[in-house]
Chains A and B, each alone.
Chain A
Amino acid sequence: MRRRTSIAAVIVLALVAQACDAATLAKAENRMNQAANGLNAAAKTNHRLYQANVINLANRREVARVINFANSKLDAAIDRAYAIQPGDAGSLSTGKIDVAKILREATEEIGKLNIGNEELRLALQAVIALINEANSIFQRVKEIT
Chain B
Amino acid sequence: MPNEPSTAVLALIRALELINAIRPVIDSVIANEQARTGLSRAELYALSKQLIAETDAITTEDMSDRP
List A residues at the B interface (Cβ < 8 Å). 3-5, 7-9, 11-12, 15-16, 19-20, 22-23, 26-27, 29-30, 32-33, 36-37, 39-40, 43-44, 46-47, 50, 57, 60-61, 63-65, 67-68, 71-72, 74-75, 78, 82
Bound: A50/B58 CA distance, A: 13
Residues of A within 8 A of B3 (CB): none
Q: What would 29 A/B residue contacts be, using CB atoms closer than 8 Å?
A: A4-B7, A4-B14, A5-B14, A7-B15, A8-B11, A11-B15, A12-B19, A16-B29, A19-B27, A19-B30, A26-B32, A26-B34, A26-B41, A30-B37, A33-B51, A36-B55, A40-B54, A47-B62, A57-B67, A60-B62, A61-B63, A67-B55, A68-B55, A68-B56, A68-B59, A71-B56, A72-B56, A74-B52, A75-B56
CA distance A52 to B26 in the complex (A): 51
Asked if A43 and B55 make an inter-chain contact with CB atoms under 8 angstroms apart, the answer reads yes
Q: Which residues of B contact A (CB under 8 A)?
A: 7-8, 10-12, 14-15, 17-19, 22, 25-27, 29-30, 32-34, 36-37, 41, 44-45, 47-49, 51-52, 54-56, 58-65, 67
Number of A-B contacts (CB under 8 A): 126
